[in-house]
Amino acid sequence: MAHSSPSKLSGQKQAVASMLATLSCPGKANKYSGTFSRRRHTALPKDDLGSGGASRERMFSGRPRLDVAFRRSGGSCLRLHSRNSGYRARLIQAHKRAATTSLLETQALSVPSCVESPYFFIEQDLQRVWSQILAIPLDSIGAEDSFFHLGGDSITAMQVVAEAPSRGLEHTIQDINQLKTIEAIARKNGGLPSNIAQPVVQDEVTNELFVLTPIQGFFFEMYSEGTCWFNQNTLVHFQRQVADSDMERAAIKLVQNHAILRARYARQKDGSWKQFLVGRARQCFHFSVHKVNSVQEMRHIIGQIQTSLDPEHGSVFIVDLFEQNGQQSLFMIGHHLVLDLVSWRIILADMEAMILDLQHQPRLTMSFQIWARLQADYGARHRNHHPLDESSMRKFWGENNASTGGDSRTRLIRLNEQLTNKLFGPSSQALDVEPVELLHAAILFSFVRTFPQRHAPCIFGEAHGRETWDASIDVTRTVGWFTTLWPVAAQLSPSGSLVTAVRTVRQARRAMSIYHNTKQERCRAGTHLMEMTFNYAGKFQQVEQDGALFRMEPMAKQSLFDGAGELGRWTMLEINSVILNGMLEFHVTYNRGTDEARVLTPWMDNLVNCLEDLASSHA
């Protein structure tokens, strides 16, 4: 997930909305239901599992495990056998190289199994989680399929890790990134708590100054006086009536659980900034109920709220409940210093759970305060420096090109669904790359091909920032501003090949530490300005959860980011990509003074050509 500069784009907002809509109602049963098959296209009805559900629980309670027996007879044959129950199993006959898989029902045999494997039901549960998060059928997910080849990315990997504990499973984002398949993840962790490093969760310390995270520090470097108008917000509508008192209690509990929503910021004598936590929620949190007669009246009040945050002396998070003709709507707004787009998923999920059950206690992960300290310590030991050529940068784009959010324009490039499917299917699989690496390479290679006289620009990668370097650090359900920005140093030659470019970018992105980027790493030439940033927001899936309490306001009618138009932009060019309605989109934001005919049009034409070449060469 990207940072929200003053020029945030509608395509990325659509992707974010999908994540919020998908996960604002956690724990709901997925519409795809079945029994796991190690081969793709084999799903058994859930009811046919017999007593297997109870047997599965034994794996997590120390009682006898199920045996999984493998035999071969004209193909690979999988039989489940339980020592402790009259368990009926399916015989799955998976003929090699066969186009279809036949299902044969058989009685469980009493002979001992030849292979002891505790992993089958772990794999089955992982498959269900993947199916739910990726919004794809169970029978399209095999045990040996790469998560990323199924359409996964870093954002959905984080969602999988956050959802897995509800099914008694524990693994990390690193497990998905490195192991990639259900089979490998299940075998590494075994689904047993003793095999997983227990997450570090510590209480926050109130009224004590602590360091800013890198992205927070960058904010104050850009806006040294601070600003109250740099917010993120969301508007949702209730599907059923909720008592005002229940809503207020849930909101107070939310702010108590996520201490960063009680943060304040203090300028030091040397001009730097630090943050501290207020102990009582009511001291820095505001809740109001408004009776309105029209949508226009509600939006007028929202406009006033958007300028009322005060990170130094007042609230950094506000909740307002609107009531109009029996319809309730909830507007929540927070200063960007204390939350990001991923945080909204956590906030909405917790709010819904606590409104429906006032005794509910959400699963908490490491506090943002502890994370800030650990990240700074780690970053101090793992620094990477990459000089930026500011003079050539400004000469190419114009001396005052970055300017302000109010001076920006956005160009949309969209690929059709067929081309998109080829890119993220055969092409990414053949090159063994993640989607973001493929797109980054195409952007960079098309640039050097278009402007061979210029060196390759340093594109800063953006990420949601919740990857960790230690399995004991879990921030998947931590509210805060985590975004990472890091320079991807990948020098390409105009005479090189596109495949070589993909490999170079892949290596550069994976080699760089993104956990802590200091001011020197971002701007060795003495400037805060970046030439280019790139963020891949993933795949938009409009998933409606049955029985959900909240319904998201359509993104066409609301803006997730709100900031003063005079705020300076962070980068000369901002590229955000998203898959929307099955089609890949690039939203390119630039200053209105940019020479479009000389720079943007030929470059974007070459970008489309590169993507078409990648899709056709590996189809």
Is 333 contained in some domain?
yes
| pLDDT, position 59 | 33
* CA-to-CA dists, residue 425 to 13, 133, 199, angstroms: 24, 18, 35
Cβ-in-10-Å burial (0-12, 13-18, 19+) of 104 comes to: exposed
Task: Give the phi and the psi of residue 125 in degrees, each rounded to 5.
Answer: -70, -40
CATH number of the domain residue 449 falls in: 3.30.559.30
Of 617, 575, 610, give the one whose Cα is nearest residue 446. 610
Q: Which of 120, 135, 161 is the last residue of a domain?
A: 120
* Lookup: tokens for 560: 């997730």
pLDDT, tens digit (0-9, with 9 covering 90-100), for 432-458 = 888 899 999 999 999 999 999 888 888
Split at pLDDT 50, 70, 90, the class of 402 is low
Q: Determine the Cα–Cα distance for residues 603 and 596; give it in Å rounded to an integer.
A: 10
| Residue 281 DSSP label | G
Quote the tokens at residue 380. 């101090």
Domain-located, residue 185: no
Domain boundary among 318, 337, 370: 370
How buried is 411 (Cβ within 10 angstroms: 0-12 exposed, 13-18 middle, 19+ buried)? Answer: middle
Which range, 389-393, 469-473, 508-512, is most confident? 508-512
Assigned domain for 472 exists: yes
| Tokens standing for residue 296 | 């226009």
Residues 248 and 226 in one domain: yes
Residue 424: inside a domain, yes or no? yes
Residue length of the chain: 619
The answer to whether 511 and 197 are in contact (CB under 8 A) is no
pLDDT digits over 168-210, tens only? 888 888 889 889 899 999 888 764 444 444 455 556 788 899 9
Q: Show the domain range for 427.
A: 382-617
Do 466 and 542 belong together in one domain? yes
- 33 has pLDDT over 80: no
571/2 Cα distance (integer angstroms) = 13
The percentage of the chain sitting over the pLDDT mark of 70, rounded to a whole number, equals: 67
Same domain, 403 and 299: no
- To the nearest 10°, the Cα dihedral for 192, 475, 4, 337? 170
Q: Is residue 259 a contact partner of residue 207, using CB atoms and an 8 Å limit?
A: no
Q: Are residues 113 and 259 in the same domain?
A: no
Check whether residue 340 and residue 406 sit in a common domain: no
**If you ran DSSP here, which 8-state letter would residue 568 be given?**
B
Q: Which residues pair with residue 92 across a beta bridge? A: 78, 103
Q: 426 is written with which tokens? A: 């055969």
Render pLDDT for 57-80 as a digit per residue (tens, 0 to 9): 333 333 333 333 322 233 333 333
User: Looking at the structure, do residues 446 and 510 belong to the same domain, yes or no?
Assistant: yes
User: For residue 483, how many other CB atoms are within 10 A of its CB?
Assistant: 24
Q: Say yes or no: 512 and 599 in one domain.
A: yes
262 confidence band (pLDDT: 50, 70, 90): very high
Average per-residue pLDDT in the chain? 74
- How is the beta sheet containing 102-106 ordered, strand by strand? 67-72, 76-81, 89-94, 102-106
Which one-letter amino acid corresponds to residue 423? Answer: L
Domain membership flag for residue 28: no
Query: 96 and 237 in one domain?
Result: no
Query: 571 to each of 386, 527, 530, how far by Cα in Å?
Result: 17, 11, 5
SS3 sequence of 202-251: CCCCCCCCECCCHHHHHHHHHCCCCCCCEEEEEEEEECCCCCHHHHHHHH
In a domain, 316, yes or no: yes
The answer to pTM > 0.75 is: no
> Can you give the pLDDT at residue 91?
27
User: pLDDT-derived band of residue 591, with 50, 70 and 90 as boundaries?
Assistant: confident
Which of 105, 120, 135 marks a domain boundary? 120
> Tens digits of per-residue pLDDT, 263-295?
999 999 998 999 999 988 777 788 999 999 999
The whole-angstrom separation of Cα 181 and Cα 183 is: 5
Pairwise pLDDT comparison (199 vs 96), residue with the higher score: 199
Residue 512 belongs to a domain: yes
275 bridge partner residues = 210, 265
Provide the pLDDT for residue 454: 85
Residue 567 has pLDDT above 90, yes or no: no
d(CA 574, CA 384) in angstroms, rounded, equals 23
In a domain, 201, yes or no: no
Do 515 and 580 belong to one domain?
Answer: yes
Q: Is residue 311 domain-shared with residue 386, that is, in the same domain?
A: no
Number of domains the chain is built from? 3
Least confident of 188-197, 378-387, 421-430, 550-559: 188-197
DSSP alpha helix (H) spans, 285-367 = 295-305, 341-356
Are 364 and 394 members of one domain? no
Pair 610, 556 in one domain: yes
